[in-house]
Copies of this chain bind each other. A is one copy, B any other.
């Protein structure tokens, strides 16, 4: 077959995860060796992205990229911004890296940014020989290309979105406790909530449904488990607007 790539359009994906404490992002280590040697010229981190195929929808490309990285399908994927600055690939390290590929890619690449949300624990940490790992979003530094800017914009968009749509649940296990949910929103929004007031609010969200199950194996009073019902949400929110806090 041999699908044809577009040499000047790519999709970059910011993969967010949550580990019960912190909001994290999945990054790939990039190591540049000297030609025909083991000597490492530099090592840094990148988001994952790839050029799109000529016969591929943007959303498809994003799904493919996240699948290649995580092996997961059917994740939430949200396009948030497109980056095309003339100098976005011009850092010396990036130039050096891109030289490897010769003329396959254009010097001017416009990249469409997507983010994706997954419960971090479900994801293996190495894929296809690449070194992939979770990093707390607040501690990320030295990303390749313009990926810091892309990450920043993705975060802004996520913060925005999470207040208006029940998208946060994608970052939680199917069954979660209210403490986990509170910590998640605190991590994303960078705030603190009062436990009683938080629960009062959640108890009004009839799409956050209590299960007849409790946590097991925890060294303290086990919490009740809840799940998000998209069904209930869709039915009760036909006309409504705001979601949260």
Contacts and interface: CB of A to CB of B under 8 A. Distances in A.
Interface of A: 6, 8-9, 52, 54-58, 79, 81-82, 84-86, 108, 110, 112, 160, 164
A-B residue pairs, 3 tightest by C-beta:
A82-B82, A58-B84, A82-B112
Given A6-B8, A8-B6, A81-B79, A108 B58 contact: no
B112 A58 contact: no
A57 B88 CA distance: 11
A158 to B, nearest CB: 14
B58 A110 contact: yes
9 contacts: A6-B108, A8-B9, A9-B9, A9-B110, A58-B84, A79-B81, A84-B112, A110-B112, A160-B164
Given A8-B8, A8-B9, A9-B8, A82 B58 contact: yes
Contact of A82 (B6, B79, B86, B108): B79
A8 B82 CA distance: 15
A112 B56 CA distance: 17
Contacts of A160: 160, 164
Nearest to A112: B82
Given A58-B82, A58-B84, A110 B110 contact: yes
A57 B86 contact: yes
Contacts of A52: 84
Contacts of A6: 8, 108
Given A79-B81, A110-B110, 5 more contacts: A8-B9, A9-B110, A52-B84, A55-B86, A58-B82
A117 to B, nearest CB: 19
Nearest to A242: B163
Looking at A9, A52, A57, the one whose CB has the most chain B CB atoms below 10 A away is A9
A54 B84 CA distance: 10
Nearest to A58: B84
Contacts of A57: 84-86
